[in-house]
DNA sequence: TTTTATTTATCTGTATACCCCTTTTTAGGG
DNA sequence: CCCTAAAAAGGGGTATACAGATAAATAAAA
């Protein structure tokens, strides 16, 4: 009780309240925490959450261009290029110019990249479980449903439109 | 219906499923979206969410050292130093060596920093409302409760321990 | 076909976030 | 009192995230 952060009240300020009532603060902390758990759980692979997202996107869509990967993984276009460059440098991804559209740059997992992506699935699921662990199963489902609703509704914000699907499938 | 991202299924991969069932993906997107809305709503001030968190922390605790600010705002210690340096450069914060403990570097809002922090409260609340808008009030409360529970339980992860309170108050 | 608009990628610059390591200062133990 | 452990800050390095601008290629319109 005495330790409940929500009890923190304004001090010198006028109407300032605790950060704990700000959705943005909680979302930011949640993100920090998830990244920390993921990195801890997947330390042996040396792969970040964003890199893993890109790799699974390429697993689902081999030979996708950067914009497609960006939409698939919900990552900024500019950033996707950087991430792919790092993965390329580590030999997990190879990139080549598209024959169909010479503006596009096609990316594909190498054999090692493919292998690592599949091997990481277990660690990834462990990280997820550890992250959600504090909540009961029912609350976990509630949280997932609420977050999904939020992301879908606000999808247009930020430079990561997040298609998740394509009509041209 | 046809547009529901959750309907995306595995393709070439073995057991890979959509990113939309991964809590980490949703949290990352939610964070991206919140930052985008905040920056849009507070564009006239040129202040980022993290800078705003630091400024309100200093409003609540004038003359705090960097570690205290870090805990108060839930921000990495190293990062707080960078943020304070930028705010100092813009004349919103002034820093000085502590007289009590010469290891510490004390930070304080300038008059302009104080003024801007207070002026931003309205825009900040608007951004919050816009962010949560897609949900009903009841669901908003549910989401806040669930996120608070998660952050409290996982508080130890990431280098931003987030005190939020002090026994020595 | 020439012009215009759009798309894709790249480059520069800023800001967050965190790691490891070092320096300075303080606090504690012998 | 000295010496060691701990705390605070800083520097260097990596990785995300996005804004703004430019260049190249394609698509659409005149």
Interface contact flag, B165 A7, Cβ < 8 Å: yes
Residue at token pair 């950087």: A82
User: Distance in angstroms, CA of B76 to C1' of D5?
Assistant: 24
Instruction: Note every long-range contact of A102-110, with CB atoms under 8 Å and residues 24 or more positions apart, other chains counting.
Output: A104/A65, A104/A66, A105/A65, A105/A66, A106/A63, A106/A64, A106/A65, A107/A58, A107/A63, A107/A64, A107/A65, A107/A66, A107/A69, A108/A58, A108/A62, A108/A63, A109/A55, A109/A58, A109/A59, A109/A62
Q: Which residue is it, tokens 């920056």?
A: B39
pLDDT tens sequence across A109-159: 999 999 999 999 999 999 999 999 999 999 999 999 999 999 999 888 776
Q: Which of B13, B143, B148 sits opposite A59 (nearest CB)?
A: B13
Residues A131-139: contacts with CB under 8 Å, at least 24 apart: A131/A33, A131/A34, A131/A37, A131/A38, A131/B23, A131/B24, A131/B150, A131/B154, A132/B23, A132/B150, A133/B153, A134/B149, A134/B150, A134/B153, A134/B154, A135/B146, A135/B149, A135/B150, A139/B146, A139/B149
Write down the pTM of the prediction: 0.87
Separation between Cα atoms, residue A30 and residue B134, nearest integer Å: 20
- pLDDT tens-digit profile of A53-111? 999 999 999 999 999 999 999 999 999 999 999 999 999 999 999 999 999 999 999 99
Residue B18's pLDDT band, with cuts at 50, 70 and 90, is confident
Measured between beta carbons, which residues in chain A are less than 8 angstroms from residue B155? 33
* Best of A8, A12, A16, A28 to mutate (most B CBs within 10 Å, chain B): A28
């Amino acid at each position: 009780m005495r330790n409940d952060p929500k009890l923190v009240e304004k001090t010198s300020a006028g109407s300032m309240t605790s950060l704990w009532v700000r959705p943005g603060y909680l979302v930011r902390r949640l993100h920090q925490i998830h990244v920390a758990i993921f990195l801890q759980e997947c330390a042996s692979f040396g792969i970040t959450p964003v890199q893993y997202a890109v790799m699974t996107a390429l697993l689902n869509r081999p030979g996708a261009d950067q914009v497609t990967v960006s939409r698939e993984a919900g990552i900024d276009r500019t950033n996707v290029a950087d991430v792919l460059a790092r993965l390329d440098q580590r030999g997990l991804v190879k990139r080549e110019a598209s024959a169909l559209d010479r503006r596009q740059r096609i990316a594909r997992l190498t054999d090692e990249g493919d292998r690592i992506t599949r091997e990481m699935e277990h660690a990834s699921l462990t990280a997820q479980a550890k992250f959600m662990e504090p909540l009961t199963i029912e609350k976990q489902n509630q949280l997932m449903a609420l977050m999904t609703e939020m992301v879908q509704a606000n999808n247009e914000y930020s430079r990561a439109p997040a298609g998740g699907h394509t009509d041209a499938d």
